[in-house]
Amino acid sequence: MSVYNFCAGPATLPPAVMQKAQQEFLDWQGIGVSVMEISHRSDPFLALAKQSEERLRRLMNIPEEYTVLFMHGGGRGQFSAVPLNLHQDNAPAVYCHSGIWSQGAFDEACKFTNAVSIDIRNDSESEFSVVPVAEWKLPDTASYIHYCPNETIDGIELFDVPKHPTAPIIADMSSNILSREINVSDFDLIYAGAQKNIGPSGLCIVIVKKTLLEREGLPRPGILDYALETKQGSMFNTPPTFAWYLANEVFAWIEEQGGVKAVEELNKKKATLLYDFIDSSDFYSNKVASGSRSLMNVPFWLNDESLNSVFLSKASESGLLALEGHRSVGGMRASIYNAMPYEGVVALVEFMARFAQEHS
């Protein structure tokens, strides 16, 4: 029986990457030891660091004016790093609120800086959608504008990028980085915890416009300091080397798939299959409006919630793992990141159809 893991994070990784890591676990590049046992300042590891940055730059088409950092502390580390590095006196940090993760970023920023939250949600009984970016009420001056293009828990994705005449645009792409093509120049800073589309938890990718490194910000720990980490090549202290190695392998795997464009096409095919099935069913539902639906995280509800625990146990028996929704929203959630094959979504839809038939 094939097993498909729909966990929201840490999430499923490409089997080809895991097998390669297994093969070279004890002996990396013929050195005779594991990649996690060598100095991060050794030539082989520095070559890996360089290669991974080059791959990511190719995959995302990252312009020269941006620096790429491999940092510690996951997505939430950046909830602190962003205000600490980018705070400006007399200009509020603006947080666009679309769901639970953007709220979390705002709450953290309030510890360090004067932050304001702007509600960009349209919530009615029958439908949830996000206000079009042109209608967001952004203030004239801001230290920066922060938003979350993919709300992992709520299953909401924002496909348009906000614009501001002066304030930098900051995006938490933890759960949708590398899932579809974007124009990096639309952003001033992108960050993404690795454990959804990149590799193991702990690592965080930061792509930041070099001009932002000149900001004084607030006193901050060295490991969260963009300018310092840039100067040190992300090695102010020992980086999470094994996670970095796996990220490099995942980047290579995406290139083998045909790059982000090819992955995006498959992601759309997977999401369409699942949403179309949910919409056509009177047993399951999802109330996110079609233009705001996430390609990566698909929450859904059984109309009869008393069947939730049977649904989950039958799904596990069928090899479909981790479908329980986040505790704060309930219901179910299928996370279908880059590494989830099309066959996994087919297996899920077939199971859901069978379950509905047996319980209607």
Ligand X SMILES: *Cc1c(COP(=O)(O)O)cnc(C)c1O
Note if 287 is an active site residue: no
Nearer to ligand X, 246 or 356 (CB): 246
Note if 28 is an active site residue: no
Give the whole-angstrom CA distance, residue 285 versus residue 282: 7
Partners of residue 91 on adjacent β-strands: 88
Q: Is 76 in the site for ligand X (CB under 6 A)?
A: yes
Q: Is 238 annotated as ligand-binding?
A: yes
The nearest distance, CB 148 to ligand X, in angstroms, is 5
Q: Is 174 in the site for ligand X (CB under 6 A)?
A: yes
Main-chain phi, psi angles of 148, to 5 degrees: -120, 105
Query: What is the C-alpha end-to-end distance of the chain, expressed in Å?
Result: 26
Q: Is 201 in the site for ligand X (CB under 6 A)?
A: yes
The nearest distance, CB 356 to ligand X, in angstroms, is 29
Tokens 């400006």 identify what position?
Answer: 88
The nearest distance, CB 34 to ligand X, in angstroms, is 24
Q: Is 217 in the site for ligand X (CB under 6 A)?
A: no
Range 225-244, binding ligand X (CB under 6 A): none
Q: Is 55 annotated as ligand-binding?
A: no
Q: Is 172 annotated as ligand-binding?
A: yes
Give the whole-angstrom CA distance, residue 113 versus residue 105: 12
Q: Is 285 helix (H, G, I), strand (E, B) or coil?
A: strand
The nearest distance, CB 198 to ligand X, in angstroms, is 11
Among 45, 59, 75, 318, binds ligand X (CB under 6 A): 75
Site size for ligand X, by CB under 6 A?
13
* Candidate ranges 167-175, 220-228, 251-259, 279-287; the one touching ligand X (CB under 6 A): 167-175
Q: Is 12 in the site for ligand X (CB under 6 A)?
A: no
Give me the half-sphere count of Cα atoms (radius 13 Å) on the Cβ side of residue 275.
21
Of 136, 196, 209, 225, catalytic: 196
Which DSSP helix (H) or strand (E) runs through 104? helix 100-109
Give the whole-angstrom CA distance, residue 10 versus residue 233: 26
Reading the block at residue 205, the tokens are 């990718």
Q: Is 90 annotated as ligand-binding?
A: no
Nearer to ligand X, 119 or 304 (CB): 119
Largest CA distance in the chain: 62
Give the whole-angstrom CA distance, residue 351 versus residue 345: 10
Give the whole-angstrom CA distance, residue 28 versus residue 250: 16
Q: Is 9 in the site for ligand X (CB under 6 A)?
A: yes
Which DSSP helix (H) or strand (E) runs through 347? helix 342-359
Range 87-116, binding ligand X (CB under 6 A): 101
- Chain residues binding ligand X by CB under 6 A are 9, 74-76, 101, 148, 152, 172, 174-175, 193, 196, 201
Binding residues: 41, 75-76, 101, 152, 172, 195, 237-238
- Catalytic sites, residue numbers: 101, 172, 196
